[in-house]
Structure 1
Amino acid sequence: MRKPAHPGQILLDGFVEPNQIKVKDLAEHLGFSRETLSRVLHGKTPMTTNLALRLEEAGISSARLWLNLQIKYDLWELKQQRAEHVRPFYFDGTTALV
């Protein structure tokens, strides 16, 4: 499985750049600093629930979409970094079968 795109990169490539929107203008419209939005757009910081909701309110897709993209990205990153895995937990309805 290949690495999923960071939601900020998707926002940048799929909305900001094609529409020639200045990061400063979008940041101000959403109520964020240019630096904060830029860090998300370049994958340096995660998409927050606050930003996802503001994007939805601005008509830029749904908060659920942005957060699901972030979850997929975070899970992929975590799976790449983990050295230890948990064994499956079996349960027959009354007793744990270890």
Structure 2
Amino acid sequence: MTRMFNPPHPGEVLREYLGEMTVTEAALRLGVSRVTLQRVVSGAAGISPDMAYRLAAAFGTSPELWAGMQMQFDLYQASKLQRPVIERITA
């Protein structure tokens, strides 16, 4: 899989999927709290596996789509962190 340069938070994509629907209405239909969904849409929280399945069912997508977006976002954010030099482990 090719890594995206600065991929958007999945919440930004979700906001587009919601269109004119309010977060409150979407949360009710997804069976989650409004606060939970607002945190995802605002980028303050990530998409959990459970949320990925809920979104997939609601929008006719796959849970892998949502989980994959979250993974790409997380990996990109992690790639910006400084790490110590790590020697390769050989057997």
- What corresponds to 2:11 in structure 1? 8
Matched, 1:28 2:28: yes
- What corresponds to 1:61 in structure 2? 61
What displacement does 1:26 show?
0.4
TM-score (norm 1): 0.79
Separation in 1, partners of 2:60, 2:35: 20
Separation in 2, partners of 1:42, 1:32: 15
Separation in 2, partners of 1:57, 1:85: 43
Alignment-mate amino acid for residue 83 of structure 2? A
- What corresponds to 1:43 in structure 2? 43
| Runs of at least 4 residues off by over 6 Å | none
Q: Which has the higher contact order (CA 8 A, sep 6+)?
A: 2
Runs of 5+ unmatched residues, structure 2: none
Separation in 1, partners of 2:82, 2:25: 39
Runs of 5+ unmatched residues, structure 1: 91-95
Which is strand-richer, 1 or 2? 1
Q: Secondary structure at the match of 1:58?
A: helix
- What corresponds to 2:77 in structure 1? 77
The alpha-carbon distance between structure 1 residues 44 and 85, as it changes in their structure 2 partners (threshold 3 A), is farther
Q: Secondary structure at the match of 1:81?
A: coil
What displacement does 1:61 show?
1.9
Count of matched residue pairs: 88
